[in-house]
Amino acid sequence: MVKRALAIITLLLIGFWLAKGLVGVPFGEDKMLVGEYYLENVKEQTGAVNAVTAVVVNYRGFDTLGEVTVLFIASTGVGALLWRRKKERSAKSEGSVVLTAGAKMLLPFIMLFGAYIFVHGHLTPGGGFPGGATVATAFLMLYLAFKEYEIDHKVFEPLEGLAGVGYVTVGLIGLAIGGYFLFDWIWQTWQFGHENIGRLFSAGFIPIIYTLIGIKVGTELTGIVDNMIKEEPKGGGQ
Amino acid sequence: MSQYAALLIALPLMGAFLIPILKKISRSAIMPFLAFVTLVQTGIAAWVFKEVYTTGKPIIIMAGGFRPPVGINLYIGHFASLFVFIVALVSFLMVIFSMKSIKVEPKDKYAMLFLLLMLGATGMIATGDIFNLFVFMEITAISAYALTAYNKSGEASDAAMKYIILGGIGSSFFLVGIALLYGSLGTLNLAQIGQLAQLMDPTVAQVALGLIVLGLAVEAEIFPLNAWAPDAYQAAPHPITTMFSAFVVKASLYAMARILYLTSAVSSWGNVLNLLIILGTLTVIIGELSALRQTNVKRMFAYSSIAQVGFIAVGFALGTQAGVNASVFHMVNHAIVKALMFLAVGYVALELGGVSLEDFRGLGKRMPLTAFAITVGAISIIGIPLFNVFWSKMQLVMAALEAGKTGVIALILGASLVEAVYYIRLIHTMWFEGEGEKIGEDTLLGTIMLLLVALVIIIGIYPDAVWQIVQKAGKDIFDVASYVKNVPLMGVSP
């Protein structure tokens, strides 16, 4: 009781302190130093209609590379901690016919929609991360609907690595051609798709990077699910 | 040409992403590949270090070719080039140690996490953008969580759990602090924050900086958010413990100092410094007193490491050029000494299977080289003349004297006394107690230890060369005006 009361009082004090700070912040007012610059120059400098995408992949692409890495670490970390020589699915019972048939029918639609999201990152809301998560949902559905289902590890792990290598390579090509790491060489040097703004083949390397991120996020989240859903076989040991 | 320094970030990333592919080709090639990548990284870092110190100009890397503050820039100045080199070198030495000490599977995942821990620390030190700093801090922290639990013992999972919860809370504090800064200034670039700092509302600045200090305190092992550290140091694989102590802590301390000094124009700045000085003092006192009671030697070194972190924080909190210089010097010295000591204690654990004080009886007869390495490290940490830490403690005392903080001087001298008690007890146990057969020691690890011992003694006898370098690095943090001037900000202004 005393403990709870003290916790509540402390939280109130912290809340008051934060509120005092927040009062002085002019949120929502016209205080966008860099924000305005992005909105004014985004089309001409990156070719993207979606300003968020341009900021995330072009202007602040370094952060996105970092975020992709964070997800990679999460997946690698889960893999390292749940590592066992032999692992099996632990599902007890088969799903109902409605579930399995429904899953089979839904699968291509979810996959297609995921791919659509990450390919159209420069045009519509979304991008690599939501698209990849959608693709991973399709695999999660397979895992939940079928007792025996397991992804092909020979393909999945190298694919995850390759997508990451692809991202860094695109950045390094930028360093070689344009002189800067992560430089958008397709848009700024080749000027590919300059008359095409607002259509699919535009926006320089954004669709390429988002496709790579989509593949990477999709394989990583699936890998995490795969690791967490499996157990050591009973009585088998190592 | 200087843009190629971006390889410092690109290379470890590329290495980590290549490992899952390499694993399919040959499992036994993973550790040599790791050694190769860290060696190349050390080479690039050495080149960058030479470049920055010969020209005297920082290398500004503009990612994507956009000028800051629109794009993200890396600022590899005197400080960053020095510490990026230390990070790469310590990582390379620890890969060699890992080849002997990591027997738990899966090694491919270990190699990936190892590279990304190195990448995270490098990025934190090099970046010039506050949100990018957060991203690199997350990379460091999350790979550290996974590596802490890597041994998969109950103890390790426990330590990692504690770490992950505290770390999560710390990062959210930090993120809220960034949001407040961005809300009031409209920019995320560190140089521009420094330029506009005096426009900030003092209350907002105080809350934001307080949150940022508390958020970074988890990674920087500052009281009261360092409870995870002794457990994590004890349970993590030995090379990883060394990396935590040698550079992960330093990266967070640096980030804290960098942000604090950039906002020194804010009128409520003194309050934040006082907060840091109080936290730093408590860190020293609690670290030293806990170290005194330990019977597990690795844990004892962990508490001692925490106490040294407290010294560094107090030095930064003095708010003077001399204090910053002394802190940076102590960071360099502590990195060398703790790399040596954790390497040695890890090697003892590997050979003898335990690190309680009992295991160290007669170590001088059983593993003379390792015992010698620990002895040199211990004597140096206490702050005995002719060893490197003496000079940095001396500089800290002089800086405190100059700033008129006599309490800090008493703290440093008192803490050194406590250090002397527990380290001399350890030295006594190693050399004057117990008997034992000689164990053949590994030549490669022996060479690394002797190399680090030589470094400790050379800096101890000729501190001037390093002191020159450190003064430049300290100026890099303290001299905000030239930091802002060096970043080619484009004309987006209020």
At residue B82 the predicted structure's pLDDT band, cuts being 50, 70 and 90, is: very high
Does B79 reside within a domain? no
Chain A residues 60-79 with a CB less than 8 Å from chain B: 60-63, 65-67, 69-70, 72-74, 76-77, 79
pLDDT of residue B178: 92
Average pLDDT, chain A: 84
Point out the least confidently predicted range of B7-11, B99-103, B413-417: B99-103
Whole-complex ipTM: 0.90
In 3D space, the residue among B30, B6, B28, B9 whose CA is nearest the CA of residue B18 turns out to be B30
Does B145 reside within a domain? no
Point out the least confidently predicted range of A28-32, B317-321, B354-358, B359-363: A28-32
- The CA–CA distances, whole Å, from B129 to B45, B68, B136, B255, B487 equal 21, 9, 11, 11, 11
Tokens of B105: 């599977």
Distance, in angstroms, between B415 CA and closest chain A CA?
Answer: 32
Domain that holds residue B325: 269-481
Distance, in angstroms, between B61 CA and closest chain A CA?
Answer: 8
Does B139 reside within a domain? no
Tokens of B71: 């794009």
Selecting from A80, A178, A188 the residue whose C-beta is nearest the C-beta of B150 gives A80
Among all residues of chain B, which has the CA nearest to that of A154? B24
**pTM summary value:** 0.93
**Over 80: is that where the pLDDT of B340 sits?**
yes
Report the 3 state secondary structure along chain B: CHHHHHHHHHHHHHHHHHHHHHHHHCHHHHHHHHHHHHHHHHHHHHHHHHHHHHHCCCEEEEHHHCCCCCCCEEEECHHHHHHHHHHHHHHHHHHHHHHHHCCCCCHHHHHHHHHHHHHHHHHHHHECEHHHHHHHHHHHHHHHHHHHCCCCCHHHHHHHHHHHHHHHHHHHHHHHHHHHHHHHHCCCEHHHHHHHHHHCCHHHHHHHHHHHHHHHHHHHCCCCCCCHHHHHHHHCCHHHHHHHHHHHHHHHHHHHHHHHHHCCCCCCHHHHHHHHHHHHHHHHHHHHHHHHCCCEHHHHHHHHHHHHHHHHHHHHHCCCHHHHHHHHHHHHHHHHHHHHHHHHHHHHHHHHCCCEHHHHCCHHHHCHHHHHHHHHHHHHHHCCCCCHHHHHHHHHHHHHHHHCCHHHHHHHHHHHHHHHHHHHHHHHHHHHCCCCCCCCCCHHHHHHHHHHHHHHHHHHHCHHHHHHHHHHHHHHHHCHHHHHHHCCCCCCCC
Among all residues of chain B, which has the CA nearest to that of A14? B207
Question: Is A15 at the interface with chain B, CB within 8 A?
Answer: no
Sort out which chain A residues have CB atoms less than 8 A from B237's CB and list them. none
Per-residue pLDDT of B398-433, as tens digits, reads: 898 888 888 888 888 899 899 999 999 889 888 888
Report the pLDDT averaged over residues B441-454: 87
Does B449 reside within a domain? yes
CB contact under 8 A, B18 and A161: yes
pLDDT of residue A3: 92
Distance, in angstroms, between B397 CA and closest chain A CA?
Answer: 35
Chain A residues 119-158 with a CB less than 8 Å from chain B: 154, 157-158
Selecting from B63, B109, B494 the residue whose C-beta is nearest the C-beta of A79 gives B109
pLDDT of residue A230: 82
Per-residue pLDDT of A2-50, as tens digits, reads: 999 999 999 999 999 888 888 877 766 666 678 888 888 888 888 888 8
CB contact under 8 A, B135 and A70: yes
Sort out which chain B residues have CB atoms less than 8 A from A79's CB and list them. 106, 109
**Over 80: is that where the pLDDT of A198 sits?**
no
Does B367 reside within a domain? yes
Sort out which chain B residues have CB atoms less than 8 A from A188's CB and list them. 65
Burial of A234 (0-12, 13-18, 19+ CB in 10 A): exposed
Number of domains in chain B: 1
pLDDT of residue B264: 86
pLDDT of residue A238: 41
CB contact under 8 A, A70 and B138: yes
pLDDT of residue B147: 92
Percent of chain A with pLDDT strictly greater than 90: 29
Among all residues of chain A, which has the CA nearest to that of B21? A158
Per-residue pLDDT of B241-266, as tens digits, reads: 999 988 899 999 999 999 999 888 88
Q: pLDDT: is B239 or A193 the higher one?
A: B239
Does B293 reside within a domain? yes
Report the pLDDT averaged over residues A93-120: 89
Distance, in angstroms, between A138 CA and closest chain B CA?
Answer: 23
Distance, in angstroms, between B219 CA and closest chain A CA?
Answer: 16
CB contact under 8 A, A77 and B203: no
**Over 60: is that where the pLDDT of B153 sits?**
yes
Does B442 reside within a domain? yes
Distance, in angstroms, between B429 CA and closest chain A CA?
Answer: 37
Report the pLDDT averaged over residues B259-279: 87
CB contact under 8 A, B65 and A74: no
- CA–CA gap between residue B134 and residue B366 (Å, rounded): 46
Distance, in angstroms, between A22 CA and closest chain B CA?
Answer: 7
Among all residues of chain B, which has the CA nearest to that of A34? B70
Sort out which chain B residues have CB atoms less than 8 A from A14's CB and list them. none
Sort out which chain B residues have CB atoms less than 8 A from A32's CB and list them. 186
- The CA–CA distances, whole Å, from B305 to B286, B353, B404, B421 equal 12, 23, 26, 16
Runs of H (alpha helix) within A51-146: 51-53, 61-81, 97-119, 128-145
pLDDT of residue B494: 47
Sort out which chain A residues have CB atoms less than 8 A from B105's CB and list them. 83, 85
Does B42 reside within a domain? no
Mutate to test the interface with A, among B13, B189, B192 (most CBs of A within 10 A): B13
Among all residues of chain B, which has the CA nearest to that of A180? B65
Between chain A and chain B, the number of residue pairs with CB atoms below 8 A apart is 190
Sort out which chain B residues have CB atoms less than 8 A from A62's CB and list them. 63-64, 72, 129, 132
CB contact under 8 A, B180 and A25: yes
